[in-house]
């Protein structure tokens, strides 16, 4: 005999998985900050890699649940879209960490912390927005949260312009400019993924409003 409660309870399962995925994305940036503060220690990088693996496992669980579940609290394509973009956040963070660890020693005098702190704020905001999915009909609340995320992205863009202005100011040799610019762009990609996640949440809210 089928249990309707068991069937419809699957919706909570997706909310839980998406929230866990957003939490891992946020933690990946926190580990990145620790790594930047103590670049010679390998623990933060190992933790960051582990976070990305957890995120990949969560994405796989979401895909499996979608195959097995008939009723979901959100539309399937929305769940897939959000899970995909959340997975890309720690993936991009890990790529930055790998490039940073391979960079020459003189790259260590470049301060990436201001950007990483912006990313921490952005991923924290994404986590709040994903948690809001349980009350997705509160459209104005979702828009307010997304406005905050957009503001953080705008501040990060301004910071990026200032950093590039300094980088191109003639103080650095050409190799350092290329390496640092590549690292800056990887961090910028992370905040772009946060923006994408916020946009998906807003689209879901608009559908349900």
8 A C-beta contact, residue 77 and residue 63: no
Residue 26, token pair as written in the block:
């946020």
Amino acid 42: pLDDT: 66
Torsion of CA 31, 37, 43, 44, to 10 degrees: 10
Domain count for the chain, please give it. Answer: 1
Instruction: Please report, for the domain that includes residue 157, its CATH number.
Output: 1.20.58.220
Residue 26 pLDDT greater than 90, yes or no: yes
pTM, two decimal places: 0.87
Q: How confident is the model at residue 189 (pLDDT cuts 50, 70, 90)?
A: very high
Q: Could you tell me where the DSSP H helices lie in 38-138?
A: 43-68, 76-102, 113-131
Please tell me which residue, 129 or 174, carries the higher pLDDT value: 129
| Cα–Cα dist 62/10, whole Å | 11
Residue 2 pLDDT greater than 50, yes or no: no
| Cα–Cα dist 57/40, whole Å | 28
Residue 3 pLDDT greater than 90, yes or no: no
Query: Residue 47 belongs to what domain range?
Result: 4-208
Nearest one of 32, 51, 175 to 97, comparing CA atoms: 32
| Residue whose entry in the numeric block shows the structure tokens 């796989």 | 60
Arithmetic mean of pLDDT over the chain: 87
Question: What percent of the chain has pLDDT above 90?
Answer: 56
């Amino acid at each position: 005999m089928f249990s309707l409660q068991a069937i419809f309870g699957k919706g909570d399962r997706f909310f839980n998985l998406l929230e866990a995925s957003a939490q891992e994305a946020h933690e990946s940036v926190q580990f990145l900050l620790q790594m930047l503060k103590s670049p010679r220690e390998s623990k933060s990088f190992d933790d960051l890699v582990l976070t990305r693996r957890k995120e990949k496992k969560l994405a796989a669980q979401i895909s499996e649940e979608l195959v097995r579940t008939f009723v979901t609290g959100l539309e399937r394509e929305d769940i897939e879209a959000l899970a995909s973009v959340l997975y890309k956040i720690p993936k991009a963070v890990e790529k930055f960490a790998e490039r940073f660890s391979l960079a020459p020693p003189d790259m260590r005098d470049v301060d990436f912390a201001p950007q990483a702190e912006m990313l921490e704020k952005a991923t924290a905001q994404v986590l709040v927005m994903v948690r809001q999915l349980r009350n997705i009909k509160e459209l104005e609340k979702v828009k307010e949260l997304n406005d905050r995320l957009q503001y953080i992205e705008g501040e990060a863009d301004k910071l990026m312009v200032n950093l590039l202005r300094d980088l191109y100011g003639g103080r650095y040799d050409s190799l350092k400019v290329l390496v640092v610019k590549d690292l800056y762009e990887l961090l910028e990609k992370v905040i772009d993924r946060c923006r994408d996640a916020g946009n998906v949440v807003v689209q879901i809210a608009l559908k349900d409003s």
